[in-house]
Amino acid sequence: MQISQLSTAVPKNTYSTEELMEDFPCQIPEGVKQNVVNLGISKRHLVNPVDLSDKPRDVLGEKALVDLHVEACEQSFERADLTIHDIDYFVAAYDASPFLSPGLSFLLARKLGFNPYIKHVSIQGMACAAFPKALELAEDHLSRYPKDHVLLCMSGVNSYWFSNQVRGMEDVMEIDKIGLLKDKGKRQTELRKWIATMEFFLFGDGVASVIVANNEDGLSVGKIVSVTNLKMKDFFAGHARLVPLNEPFKFGFESYLDKDLPKLGVQYTSVALRKLLGKNAGDKLDAIKKWAIHTGSKKILHKMSEYYHIPDEKLEESYKVLTECGNLAGASLPFILERIISENDFSRNDLISTLDFGWGFSASACLLGFQKWHH
């Protein structure tokens, strides 16, 4: 199975970190500003213009999200010299959408121009692990229908969640001062506000379109190894869930990022890589020409680089995507792969390794073998 085409699209609303700090609804303490800078992001693209006032909001619309997917998919069709009629199976993977139901694949199916009988599926809530799971679905389909083409839409559009968390916020405390609070309830409230602030600055929006088929061109997808919840409650380290509000038909959004996320990322990816590479894993790691590692944050990429002794030049595209787009959740790996392919020269059978990890708690590893690429 090969990834025969990759295309990406980002919204036209672009904000630097400095601009967002100025637009933030409250004064940001210097310590918190430094936390934001340490994330390693210069700018990000957001589907909707930033409005962090506490004025009443209309119902969130889906048009910007859908249009961004259409843009990415049409680029893929054009570059691959295919049409919508060449696609036999369609997978939409996403985290945030104004619609809890129907899923994103339903919203996109006719907008993209598929006939009403297209085989499709929506994957919601897989977060950063969405891309390898979508590849597994494609692999299952192609094993039964080897002449088909599969379209994967990877949505990294999360500002629907994270902009709303900080809207109207009146203050935020520095993390070391939060730990000194004696009142547990107050401490938890302030920690949630600090996490919401970090998430607002960390995540950007973007969509990737991936065409997968059985042919001799593209990135050959090897074995995919995933690991989930080595310990029963590891998923609490990163999660998002609805919470009821004291009004009819009203729900809020709560998310959490644990300080142990970088440590868990290393632990989980090392388990996945050992399973993937088997004996002599060290020698095989040295043979990898490029790495695509999920853009968790600058600190996380540093930790992964140090642990696996990855030279900077093998990881530069992951850093670039983080810096220029922010954390793109499940879309981060195809964004990095697209940049790796477009900015480097490869020989046949050169290896690229992908590593992703995050909410779940889960991690995946995959080796991609370079065959031939049509730009």
What's the whole-number mean pLDDT along residues 224-248?
88
- Selected residue with higher pLDDT from 333 and 52: 333
Higher pLDDT, 186 or 345: 186
Counting the structural domains of the chain, the total is 1
Per residue in 257-282, pLDDT (tens digit) is 888 888 888 999 999 998 998 877 77
Bridge partner list, 257: 238
Structure tokens given for 287: 């043979």
Looking at residue 373, its pLDDT comes to 54
Determine contact, residues 122/113, Cβ cutoff 8 Å: no
Say whether 206 sits in a helix, a strand or coil. Answer: coil
Q: Calculate mean pLDDT across residues 290-309.
A: 91
Mean pLDDT of 126-152: 94
On whether residue 78 sits in a domain, the answer given is: no
Residue 341 within any structural domain of the chain: yes
What is the pLDDT averaged over residues 215-239?
88
Distance, CA of 332 to CA of 302 (rounded, Å)? 17
Distance in angstroms (rounded) separating the CA atoms of residues 308 and 173: 35
In angstroms, rounded to a whole number, what is the distance separating the alpha carbons of residues 33 and 201?
10
Mean pLDDT score, 226-252: 87
Evaluate whether residue 344 is within a structural domain. Answer: yes
Angle, alpha carbons 109-138-231 (nearest 5°)? 110
Say what the pTM is: 0.93
Instruction: Look up residue 373 and give its two tokens.
Output: 């690429």
pLDDT in tens, 7-29: 999 999 999 999 999 999 999 99
Contact criterion met (CB below 8 Å) for 229 and 271? no
Mean pLDDT across 274-291? 84
Q: Check residue 47 and give its pLDDT.
A: 93
| Other beta carbons less than 10 A from residue 347's beta carbon | 7
Grade residue 374 by pLDDT with cuts at 50, 70 and 90. Answer: low
In a domain, 177, yes or no: no
pLDDT tens, residue by residue, 81-98: 999 999 999 999 998 888
Longest Cα–Cα distance in the chain = 64
The span from the CA of 339 to the CA of 321, in Å, is 8
The verdict on residue 144 lying in a domain is no
Our CA angle for 119, 137, 232, nearest 5°, is: 130
Residue identified by tokens 């859908």 is: 66
Interatomic CA distance for residues 274 and 291, integer angstroms = 16
CATH number where 276 lies: 3.40.47.10
Give the C-alpha separation, 292 to 356, whole Å. Answer: 8
**Cα dist. 345→295, 312, 314, 374 in Å?**
23, 17, 13, 13
Q: Which two tokens stand for residue 34?
A: 């430094």
207-219 tens-digit pLDDT: 999 999 998 677 8
Residue 38 domain-assigned (yes or no): no
Cα angle: 134, vertex 138, 139; to 5 degrees: 115
Q: How far is CA 22 from CA 94, 160, 204, in A?
A: 30, 20, 17
**106 band by pLDDT with thresholds 50, 70 and 90:** very high
What is the domain extent for residue 234? 221-372
Per the CB < 8 A criterion, the answer to whether 207 and 154 are in contact is yes
pLDDT (average), residues 146-157: 95
Q: What pLDDT score was predicted for residue 268? A: 92
CA–CA separation, 274 and 278 (whole Å): 5
Amino acid 25: pLDDT: 92
Percent of the chain with pLDDT strictly greater than 90? 63
pLDDT band at 56; cut points 50, 70, 90: low
Question: What is the distance between the alpha carbons of residues 184 and 199, in angstroms, rounded to a whole number?
Answer: 22
- Sign of the C-alpha dihedral computed for residues 326, 355, 344 and 4 taken in this order: negative
Instruction: Write the CA distances from 362 to 256, 284, 356, integer angstroms.
Output: 15, 23, 8
Nearest to 277 by CA among 366, 371, 163, 340: 366
Highest mean pLDDT among 88-92, 125-129, 284-288: 88-92
| Secondary structure (H, E, C), 15-40 | EEHHHHHHHCCCCCCHHHHHHHHCCC
pLDDT band at 372 (very low <50, low <70, confident <90, very high): low
User: Does residue 91 fall inside a structural domain?
Assistant: no
